[in-house]
Amino acid sequence: MSELGSRAKPSIKPTVKFGANPSQQTEKYPRPTLALALLMAAVVACGLHALFISGPATRVAAEEQHERTIAEENREVCGRLGISPDTAQFTICSGELAVVRRRQTDRDEAAAMGVL
């Protein structure tokens, strides 16, 4: 037994440390934070696109549609009064309709402010 007792037991050292993945140790930000940052960057990019690219184009299209609508209304109202679009009276009629619209806008704005 002395021969068996004199032998040293080999020491077993673990070569892998559990929970110590080197790729996880070097990450500066955890994955959920990175995903949130990427999502926020995408939202900001979409907002900037809407503000600087789509916004002005949409505004121009809305103004053009507004002008077409007013021209159609002018033709309709002045036409009911027997004034054709290719006459000088049509220009006068359209001008008077513009005055009526402006006054209505003034009344609407005054009502919104509580003046009326």
pLDDT tens-digit readout, 75-112: 999 999 999 999 999 999 999 999 999 999 999 999 99
pTM score, whole prediction:
0.55
Domain that holds residue 96: 30-113
- Does residue 5 lie in a domain region? no
- Does residue 104 lie in a domain region? yes
State how far the alpha carbon of 69 is from the alpha carbons of 29, 44, 48, 82, in Å.
55, 35, 30, 20
- Does residue 17 lie in a domain region? no
- Does residue 22 lie in a domain region? no
pLDDT above 80 (res 70): yes
Mean pLDDT, range 43-56, rounded to an integer? 91
> 74, 93 in Cβ contact below 8 A?
yes
> 93, 78 in Cβ contact below 8 A?
yes
- Does residue 9 lie in a domain region? no
The number of folded domains in the chain is 1
